[in-house]
Amino acid sequence: MNLKINFLDAGYCTHPECMTIRGGRLKSKIYPAMFMHIEHPKHGHILYDTGYSRDFEKETASFPNKLYAMLTPVILKDDGCAKGRLKKLGVNPEDISYIIISHFHADHISGLKDFKNAKFIYLKKEFVRVSKLKGLKALVNGVLPGLIPKDFEQRAIAIDENYKYKNYNSDIEAFFEYSYDIFGDGSIVAVDLPGHSEAQMGLYLRQEDKEYFLVADSCWLSESIRKNIGPNFMAKLITFNNKEYVRTLDKLHHLYIKNPNIKQVPSHCGEVFRELVKDCNWDTKDLNGI
């Protein structure tokens, strides 16, 4: 099926690189909040995550949520949110039919409220857990409940066992047990990548002769996949299950060894950002991994 894919960003945060990969630099580097715009011949305009928005600033204006913004300072230009970035492509917020949510951390869902017509697609067990988090416990888990639209559940499509799918890519299936056919046509396949969160949704999709595997926050740098190098031990504090994180990263590494032609895309990697994002309105000299 002929999909059109645009790789975009909605702001970025800064953080010491050594925290996100062992042996990284002490200097703070830029971590872009990438999101993907997919044009589907039947289902129209689809997003994979949304990056940051002005709602993030509102939700982190006071304590305790302000700690989130202090630990990962966010830079977002006036037209730099997903809504503004899409308008430059001629896509209006009301044109978005679906938003596929990798997981519910604030840097991936801050723009949800900007898309009033979109239905939300996510792995069921991830939202079941997140919906129970409140206050400081939510913050420690990287979740800002105020970013989730009040009518979220009325617009929700929860992916569960009923969507299980096989025989789409033998290489990925050799390493990952749980895959789901989102639209029932094999065009966009969700893959469960646990560890960073309980049920993180990666996506496998094709554009002409290219294969992409969007791996969200399974790691922060592509170098981690190539060399199987995890983050600093301090990252365990924001990892849902560190053993699963290590296991998922190991699988991605071996998938890369087996088939390097599948382009694995971590959502915050400076290396793939520079390669795939064609329209950037900020200075990229301090990107991570470069």
Q: What is the residue range of 206's domain?
A: 4-276
**Cα 153 from Cα 228, distance rounded (Å):** 37
Task: Write the CATH number for 60.
Answer: 3.60.15.10
Residue 26's Cβ-count burial label (10 Å; 0-12, 13-18, 19+) is: exposed
pLDDT at 203: 98
In a domain, 183, yes or no: yes
Mean pLDDT of 243-252: 98
Mean pLDDT of 259-267: 98
pLDDT at 86: 97
In a domain, 73, yes or no: yes
In a domain, 43, yes or no: yes
**Cα 49 from Cα 110, distance rounded (Å):** 9
8 Å CB contact between 176 and 154: no
In a domain, 287, yes or no: no
pLDDT at 30: 98
Q: Please give the structure tokens belonging to residue 120.
A: 């939300």
Q: What percent of the chain has pLDDT over 70?
A: 100
pLDDT at 78: 84
Distance between terminal CA atoms of the chain? 34
pLDDT at 202: 98
In a domain, 290, yes or no: no
pLDDT at 110: 98
Which range, of 97-101, 140-144, 280-284, averages the lowest pLDDT?
A: 280-284
In a domain, 8, yes or no: yes
Task: Provide the domain count of the chain.
Answer: 1
pLDDT tens, position by position, 23-44: 999 999 999 999 999 999 999 9
Helix spans in the chain (H):
54-59, 66-71, 82-87, 106-109, 124-130, 135-140, 170-173, 222-227, 242-258, 270-276
Which 8-state DSSP code applies to residue 163?
A: G
- pTM for the structure as a whole: 0.97
What 3-state class would DSSP assign to 98?
strand
In a domain, 288, yes or no: no
